[in-house]
Amino acid sequence: MKLSELNPGETALVIHVGGNGAVHRRLLSMGILPGTVIRSVRVSPLGDPVIYEIRGSFISLRRNEAEEVEIEKIVPLHLVPPGTVVKVVLIDGGMGFIQNLSKMGISPGKVVEVLRPCCPMLVRTPTGSFPIGKGMAYRIYVR
């Protein structure tokens, strides 16, 4: 899927950054790299360009630039409805945060089920059921 196909409000994981020369380099230096989380925020009245959130900043890309970025759709955990079983893709945080979640059985690749919606939400992980606060749920991405 291409970044240009992502609808406003949706989140994705960057898989590959194409484009040549200046476009390629500019996308990279703004932090659009394989493995980064990107969210489509707002479309211009004329349909192009689109504002994306990446690494805490807001960047507008033209359609032809967004077409160069290969993505995979993901969802932040807080948006997942109860009763859904999802697979953790990425955890956005420092070592401490990642370790804490890992103790609860939440790490990339693990399957979790949402029992109660946000926030705080309740999730069942391979190790048990845990309450997850807003500050955490927003930084866990699932598929």
Partner 1 sequence: MLIALAGNPNTGKTTIFNALTGSHQHVGNWPGVTVEKKEGFAEYKGERIRIVDLPGTYSLTAYSLEELIARNFILEEKPDVVIDIIDSTNLERNLYLLTELMELTDKIVVALNMFDEARKKYRIDVEKMRRILGIPVVPTIAIKGQGIKELLREAVEGKFNLKKPEYPRDVEDRIKRIEEMLKDHHLENERWYAIKLLENDGDVVKKLQGIGARDVIHAAEHFRHELEDIYGDDIETLMASFRYSFSHGLFHEVAEPINVGGVTITDMIDHVVAHKIFGIPIFLVVMYLSFNFVFQVAAPFQDAIDLIFNGKDLSNGAHIAGLIDLSYSWMAGFLPDWLSSFINYGMLRGLAAVLTFTPIIMLLFIILSILEDSGYLARVAFLLDRIMRKMGLEGRGVISLMLGLGCNVPAIMSTRALRNERERKLSIALNPLIPCGARIQVFAFLTSLFFAKNQAVVLWSLLLISFAVVGILGYIYSKTIFRGEVEPFVMELPPYRLPTFKGIMIHMWEKSEGFLRKAGTIIIGAAGIIWLLAALPWGVEYGSEASYIGQIAQFLGPAGHLFGLTPEAIIALFFGFFAKEVVIDSFTVLFGSKQALLASMTQLQAYSFLLFLLFYTPCVATLATIYQETRSRKFVFFVVIEGLALAVLFSFLAYNIGLLLGVGG
CA distance 141 to 139: 6
Closer by beta carbon to partner 1, 48 or else 113: 48
Residues 30 to 59 in contact with partner 1, rule: CB under 8 A = 30-31, 33-36, 42-49, 51, 54-59
Q: Is 83 in the site for partner 1 (CB under 8 A)?
A: no
Site string for partner 1, 101-140 (x = CB under 8 A): ---------------------------------xx--xx-
Q: Which segment (23-31, 80-88, 99-107, 109-117) binds partner 1 by CB under 8 A?
A: 23-31
- Token pair for 111: 């399957």
From the list 72, 60, 50, 39, the residue with the least C-alpha distance to 139 is 39
Residues that contact partner 1, how many (by CB under 8 A) = 46
Q: Is 9 in the site for partner 1 (CB under 8 A)?
A: no
Closer by beta carbon to partner 1, 62 or else 103: 62
From the list 107, 89, 125, the residue with the least C-alpha distance to 11 is 89
DSSP track, 36-92: -EEEEEEE-TTS--EEEEETTEEEEE-HHHHTTEEEEEEEEGGGPPTT-EEEEEEE-
Binding site for partner 1 (CB under 8 A): 16-17, 19, 21-31, 33-36, 42-49, 51, 54-62, 65, 78, 93-95, 97, 134-135, 138-139
